[in-house]
Structure 1
């Protein structure tokens, strides 16, 4: 039986779980980077992950033979913190660019400027953050729930490394938006709320996004 003294802690742990378990793509996450969020629909990426995306029929009709990859950016602009320093921010955008070049280069010729027959790809990192992991199923047991709440309150519980992106695809000649994508992913878990987040912690997410973009373009053109 849980004592009255433990009840507030149990409630706090339950609220923490509710906040941390809701890690889906939500409209309040939209940043304004994309042209029109109202057209986005939920789809499954080639790797089986949930994505919000929209593709204009113009993309399938067009004969894009080249791609211009604009340098990725943080949107809104990100400020370094003690846990997410400038070296991490720079490392994330550098690696994202490299991953996109590698995957898009497999299916299109990459060029250094927009132009005719060119698809312009504009990627943005819209979130990079850490959050306390949600409780596992067995931690819902009354006794363990209190212990889990203690570890959450003291900062020793594992942390998720989270990163989000929005990508706009535009006609290289007219600037017309022909596709939009919003993604969110969770990288390598951090040991506690003191561990510094590095670019290595989210590289697997960035690689997955880049791979999905390349495969999705191939599927659209079939």
Structure 2
């Protein structure tokens, strides 16, 4: 299969990266993990980061007395590469699970499963990428993706890493979706095209996502 021909153009934007068309995940790059994307709107997270988000109008989050964090998924099925191996992908989801539980436990007791008055957090990692810094446009395949165009001539240049998530928040009593979010972020910069991305390179992004999710909940509760 020719992954390069299937690659989707994606501008790996951050607040400081110039020349990008958008800081939001573009609709054509939605993974299909969420059931409905139509109601998503451009918003700012509590930390000021750009997100695509929907919150059910009138939802009473004070009705939730505990939270259950489902294991995060890699969606769609990942295609590991030498640059982003299976160990890295699994390490990212493992850490995402840990930090989500840690942050949400500060706001609500952790539940052992869905049920009445339980807020269910259903997260997924929908893209992981590494691309040569300064080269545009970027070509990225959801979940597994070394950017096209990285060659011997460009291998000495720094590499940007990027990661995206989609998450649904459900009422554990009836399974109704009460909120959804789609966002992306920049991971640690790699020294060159031969450096393998590790889960540690994404930890700061995952930490920020988890903190923002909990802060959003707390703001709604107030």
Query: TM-score band (shorter)?
Result: 0.7 to 0.9
- Aligned counterparts of 2:104 and 2:216: Cα–Cα separation in 1: 10
- Aligned counterparts of 2:34 and 2:80: Cα–Cα separation in 1: 24
Please state if 1:69 is matched with 2:41.
no
The structure where helix makes up a greater share of residues is: 1
Gaps of 5+ in 2: 1-9, 13-19, 136-150
Could you tell me whether the CA contact under 8 Å between 2:61 and 2:217 is conserved in 1? no
Give the equivalent residue in structure 2 for 1:59. Answer: 59
After TM superposition, the score normalised by the length of structure 2 is 0.81
Give the equivalent residue in structure 2 for 1:192. Answer: 192
Could you tell me whether the CA contact under 8 Å between 1:132 and 1:152 is conserved in 2? no
- Aligned counterparts of 1:19 and 1:58: Cα–Cα separation in 2: 34
CA displacement at 1:57 relative to structure 2: 2.4
Give the equivalent residue in structure 2 for 1:102. Answer: 102
Could you tell me whether the CA contact under 8 Å between 1:35 and 1:177 is conserved in 2? no
- Aligned counterparts of 1:199 and 1:59: Cα–Cα separation in 2: 35
CA displacement at 1:61 relative to structure 2: 5.7
Query: Pairwise mapping of residues 163-202 of structure 1 onto structure 2 (< 5 A)?
Result: 163-202=163-202
CA displacement at 1:152 relative to structure 2: 9.0
CA displacement at 1:90 relative to structure 2: 1.1
Could you tell me whether the CA contact under 8 Å between 1:59 and 1:179 is conserved in 2? no
Query: Pairwise mapping of residues 81-120 of structure 1 onto structure 2 (< 5 A)?
Result: 81-120=81-120
- Aligned counterparts of 1:108 and 1:130: Cα–Cα separation in 2: 35
- Aligned counterparts of 2:132 and 2:108: Cα–Cα separation in 1: 40
CA displacement at 1:19 relative to structure 2: 5.9
Moved over 6 A (4+): none
CA displacement at 1:29 relative to structure 2: 1.2
Please give the root-mean-square deviation of Cα atoms over the aligned residues, in Å: 2.2
Select between 95-104 and 153-162 the one with higher mean Cα deviation: 153-162
Give the equivalent residue in structure 2 for 1:218. Answer: 218
Please state if 1:39 is matched with 2:39.
yes
Could you tell me whether the CA contact under 8 Å between 2:169 and 2:180 is conserved in 1? yes
CA displacement at 1:62 relative to structure 2: 5.5
Give the equivalent residue in structure 2 for 1:206. Answer: 206
CA displacement at 1:192 relative to structure 2: 1.2
Distance 1:58 1:106, change over 3 A: same
- Aligned counterparts of 1:132 and 1:183: Cα–Cα separation in 2: 21
How many aligned residue pairs are there?
Answer: 192
Larger Rg: 1
